[in-house]
């Protein structure tokens, strides 16, 4: 695997290989088995948006693999003052063995991969969040023992999370139903992709329709990073799109809840549902570490 730019680029087999390696690395970490698979390698971490989980899990993950993470805030880089991506990519390719980037436009990530000569890992764009989805799939597989045949429901914004979950769920044999208000649908590229899967993908206006018999119910914030000025407008648009106990009563009785975090209790999810599923949600957050270590090994290892 050369890069991780978006879920659309991964085959079903590649996803399974990443999840299997992630499980193995999690086991090795828990049992104190050394796994310094990236000794001598350096990974640059470019952040043009805030982060808690992505930054800390990539930094510590790279350290556990024997490599060196280098945090690069765009505020301190020339890219933040207008140096073109094409030049940044060609320069950093001469120092580093890989780059993780969190930014706004998907094109910036694709351009880094196009102009640079080292692996690029997408740590979130407005279009997608593949590292998060790999951790989500890992967690669901851990709790349910399988992915194929399960039903996922995503309630809320057609944002980076919804876009990537649709692709990740369908590529791993799950079905997915989403509910979003008019004007907040997933990206048209994702809808076109999902159409090939027939009735395994369904889009509804009401959360109740989407959540029926779900094995996993997922949501995300109503205003993503970069959309702060729309927060009030979005609060109105997403009224009724909340995961609460009434909605959960329509899902399977043993349904899981996942949330990429940070969560806004009382908006997209109630406090009681969040706390009832806190173990699954924080396992999901932990699995960012293991899933991303698998991605780094797949992309950066010489073997």
Binding mask 243-262 for ligand CP (x = CB under 6 A): -----------------xx-
Please give the helix or strand (H or E) that residue 204 lies within, else none: strand 201-204
Residue from 53, 141, 151, 234 binding ligand CP (CB under 6 A): 53
Q: Between residues 26 and 175, which has the closer beta carbon with respect to ligand CP?
A: 26
Partner that binds at residue 52, options ligand CP, ligand NVA, none, CB closer than 5 to 8 Å by kind: ligand CP
Binds 224: which of ligand NVA, ligand CP, none (CB < 5-8 Å by kind) = ligand NVA
Selection from ligand NVA, ligand CP, none that 160 binds (CB < 5 to 8 A by kind) is ligand NVA
Please select the residue that binds ligand CP; options are 132, 172, 258, 287, rule is CB under 6 A: 132
Whole-angstrom distance, CA of residue 230 vs CA of residue 245: 27
Q: Residue 264 and residue 260: Cα distance in Å, rounded?
A: 11
When the beta carbons of 122 and 175 are compared against ligand CP, the nearer one is 122
Stretch that binds ligand CP, among 45-53, 181-189, 193-201, 239-247 (CB under 6 A): 45-53
> Could you please report the per-residue DSSP string of 105-123?
-HHHHHHHHHH-SS-EEE-
Picked from ligand CP, ligand NVA, none, the partner binding residue 159 (CB below 5 to 8 A depending on kind) is ligand NVA
Q: Which residues have CB under 8 Å from 224's CB, separation 6+?
A: 126, 157, 159, 160
Interaction site with ligand NVA (CB under 6 A): 124, 159-161, 220-221, 224-225, 260
Which residue, 24 or 74, has its beta carbon nearer to ligand NVA?
Answer: 74
93 burial level (CB within 10 Å; 0-12, 13-18, 19+): middle
Q: Locate tokens 């909340």: which residue?
A: 242
The residue (of 110 and 220) whose beta carbon lies closer to ligand NVA is 220
- Closest residue to bound ligand CP by CB: 54
CB of 113 to ligand CP, least distance (A): 20
Contacts of 154 (CB under 8 A, 6+ apart): 161, 162, 165, 166, 176, 177, 178, 179, 210, 218, 219, 220
- φ, ψ of residue 191 to 5 degrees: the values are -65, -40
Residue 211 · residue 177 · CB < 8 Å: yes
Contact 212, 186 (CB under 8 A): no
Question: Residues in the site for ligand CP, rule: CB under 6 A?
Answer: 51-54, 124, 132, 260-261
């Amino acid at each position: 695997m050369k890069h991780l730019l978006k879920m659309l680029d991964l085959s079903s087999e590649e996803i399974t290989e990443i999840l299997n390696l992630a499980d193995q690395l999690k086991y090795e970490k828990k049992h104190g088995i050394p796994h310094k698979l990236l000794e001598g390698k350096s990974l640059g971490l470019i952040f043009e948006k805030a982060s808690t989980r992505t930054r800390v899990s990539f930094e510590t993950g790279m350290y556990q693999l024997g490599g060196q993470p280098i945090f690069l805030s765009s505020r301190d880089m020339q890219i933040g003052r207008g140096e073109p991506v094409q030049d940044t990519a060609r320069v950093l390719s001469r120092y580093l063995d890989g780059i993780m980037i969190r930014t706004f436009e998907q094109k910036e990530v694709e351009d880094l991969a196009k102009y640079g000569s080292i692996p690029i890992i997408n740590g979130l764009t407005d279009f997608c969040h593949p590292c998060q989805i790999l951790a989500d799939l890992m967690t669901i597989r851990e709790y349910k023992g399988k992915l194929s045949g399960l039903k996922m429901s995503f309630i809320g914004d057609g944002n980076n999370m919804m876009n990537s979950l649709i692709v990740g769920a369908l590529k791993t044999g799950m079905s997915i139903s989403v509910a979003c208000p008019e004007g907040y649908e997933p990206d048209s590229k994702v809808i076109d992709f999902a159409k090939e899967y027939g009735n395994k993908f369904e889009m509804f206006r009401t959360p109740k329709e989407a959540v029926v018999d779900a094995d996993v119910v997922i949501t995300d914030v109503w205003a993503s990073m970069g959309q702060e000025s729309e927060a009030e407008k979005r609060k109105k648009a997403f009224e009724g799109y909340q995961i609460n106990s009434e909605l959960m009563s329509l899902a399977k009785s043993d349904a899981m809840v996942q949330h990429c975090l940070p969560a806004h209790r009382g908006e997209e999810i109630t406090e009681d549902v969040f706390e009832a599923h806190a173990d699954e949600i924080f396992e999901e957050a932990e699995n960012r570490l293991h899933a991303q270590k698998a991605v780094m090994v797949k992309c950066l290892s010489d073997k």
